[in-house]
A = this chain, B = another copy of it.
């Protein structure tokens, strides 16, 4: 049986899969370096072809020529809402529920503080999260707790224990839908339902979901969410993040980050803060127009693309990659820590290996770009808009080569000097 699988998949098979891929033409929307297999779009999305051009126009024409008037003339002033409106489709939200601004961490701070200030969770003392949550999410929770002077406690549970832990003591839960290490995917509808029954609410971090996993924030009862712009959404390094507040919560949602762009009339220069009626109240300082310009091009790479097709391809890619690692690399001791059932994972796979760091550096030097996550994980992301099936074949083939020729044993691959 194993023998059959070992010779089961060929490069030619993968070429056929690419030829049959209904999303194959989307790759042309991106600039990718020649000869590289880029499996790190879950960390930094690739450059959309349109970005360089559009961005040059933003800088040279809009800023350089129209200067200050571009706030009106080129509608800079509503960029966060406009881009949020486009993103809403990808998130399964309505246009007036999403805004793009600031960083994920700053937006998380807004939603956490805002959620804790909601009258219906008054008296509750627990902020619930997962032990393995992305560190910055936990750090922000720590910051909010320190600010509260002992009022709140952070309770961390394992992913499988979240449902049970969503009880009447929880003021707010901070849950990342797709785990940045394991790739495990939470059932959003199910957890929102539990939260509702417990009279609490979840702040979702969708950093590893948005643009890779079909989302139905509205239909699945999500009330609050943030997410990253520079991963599957292709907004560029450090792109502005997004945030989502369900319409039903907006009128009473207030955060201490009450900057002028969240005011109901920013340019009236009124002495007292009055929040805008809608999602705009979640803006704070002047948003970065330059960063938003790139972010818009990133979101536009999804134009006309059905998220169900994205998901289907994403899972086909990761299933293929898993099968190829089994087939080509089973003697090298890689352990896939990502849930084997496709329905329970996002769009990346993580493999544990004692020498993960060195092996990753060695395959990177042969053009296969994944990343390393402490302490022993090799992570491969499958951005369905530009990753193909032959890419998976080539990546695993090179992984096998590096393991066979021992290139990863070179001294320079063992120095932990790369930061991401």
Contacts and interface: CB of A to CB of B under 8 A. Distances in A.
Contacts of A241: 285
A135 B256 contact: no
A285 B229 CA distance: 12
Report copies per complex.
2
Contacts of A46: 64, 67
Given A139-B260, A419-B77, A44 B67 contact: yes
B237 A76 contact: yes
Contacts of A147: 113, 147, 256
A69 to B, nearest CB: 8
A332 interface: no
A380 interface: no
B291 A255 contact: no
Interface stretch (A50-58, A306-314, A402-410): A50-58
A106 B285 contact: yes
A47 to B, nearest CB: 4
A257 interface: yes
A65 B33 contact: yes
9 contacts: A52-B59, A70-B237, A104-B285, A104-B286, A106-B284, A131-B271, A139-B263, A139-B273, A240-B288
Nearest to A33: B65
A348 to B, nearest CB: 13
Interface in A259-313: 259-263, 266-273, 284-292, 294
A70 B33 CA distance: 13
A398 B146 CA distance: 57
A81 interface: no
B103 A146 contact: no
A52 B64 contact: yes
A98 to B, nearest CB: 18
A40 B52 contact: no
Contacts of A140: 257-259
Contacts of A418: 69, 72
A109 interface: yes
A327 to B, nearest CB: 27
A52 to B, nearest CB: 5
Question: Which residue, of A32, A56, A258, has the highest number of chain B Cβ atoms within 10 A?
Answer: A258
Nearest to A228: B286
Nearest to A58: B237
Contacts of A256: 109, 143-144, 146-147
A71 B374 contact: no
B284 A105 contact: yes
A59 B294 contact: yes
Contacts of A144: 256
Interface string A64-90: 111111111000110000000000000
A238 B287 contact: yes
A237 B289 contact: yes
A102 interface: yes
A254 interface: yes
Given A143-B255, A285-B241, A267 B104 contact: no
Given A71-B237, A139-B259, A142-B273, 18 more contacts: A31-B60, A52-B56, A55-B56, A76-B237, A103-B286, A105-B257, A105-B286, A109-B256, A131-B271, A135-B263, A140-B259, A143-B273, A237-B289, A238-B291, A288-B288, A290-B290, A290-B294, A291-B291
A239 interface: yes
A392 to B, nearest CB: 18
A290 B54 CA distance: 14
B146 A238 contact: no
Nearest to A418: B72
B55 A68 contact: no
A412 interface: no
A13 interface: no
A127 to B, nearest CB: 13
